[in-house]
Amino acid sequence: MTNPTGRRVTANLSLTLDGRYHGPGGPADFGMFVPYVTTDVARSHLTRIWEDATTAVLGRVNAEGFLGYWPTVADDENADPRDRGYAKWLVDAEKVVLSTTLTDAPWERARVVNAPAADVVTGLKATGQGDILVNSSASVIKPLLAADLVDRLYLMILPEIAGGGPRLFDDGLPASKWQLTYQETGDLGEMAMVYDRVR
């Protein structure tokens, strides 16, 4: 598979030990994640995910949720510099929001696309430069994994078992091999890991 632009598709997600990206109470069930998202390891990982990216791809739920939070961080001079760096990047980056229900983009420098994730990302890879970051949106990451379009995974593994809720890696994904290219463990037992797809 040739890639004339050299653009990588990267994906970022936090997971519990049992592979869940939220708890059994639904998408707002994030209580077990809260102690870990502001650690030094998590904040350094946040910087790592966007440094080479020029485009953010988001599902509707994350796009709307992020809009209520990150622009205020970008303007907050007292915010952690790593949080602020990510927030400024996200505000300024090209954003593609995948949605079947939105008609208007919820951000500046954003566009809404109602099309399969694999088609959208394949189109993005064909032009431009810089990484395409699928940002904490499991609804987008899952079909890209199924289509073998993810080149790098940025994972935060949190030392908690949720006991329920959806998993990132569903049965039926195509077999694939990954190389661990970075890892760091924090004081609370949280692990930041970067895996690159071996092709």
Domain boundaries, the chain: 9-198
Task: Answer yes or no: are the C-beta atoms of 152 and 199 closer than 8 Å.
Answer: no
Residues 6 or more apart from 117 whose CB is under 8 A from it? 57, 98, 140, 143, 144, 147
User: CA-based Rg of the chain, rounded to a whole angstrom?
Assistant: 16
pLDDT at 104: 85
Regions in the chain scoring below 70 on pLDDT: 1-4
Rounded to whole angstroms, the Cα distance separating 167 from 198 reads 23
Its pTM stands at 0.93
Give Cβ neighbours of residue 175 (< 8 Å, ≥ 6 apart): none
Topology at the third CATH level for domain 9-198:
Dihydrofolate Reductase, subunit A (3.40.430)
Kindly report the average pLDDT of the chain as a whole number.
93
pLDDT tens, residue by residue, 147-156: 999 999 999 9
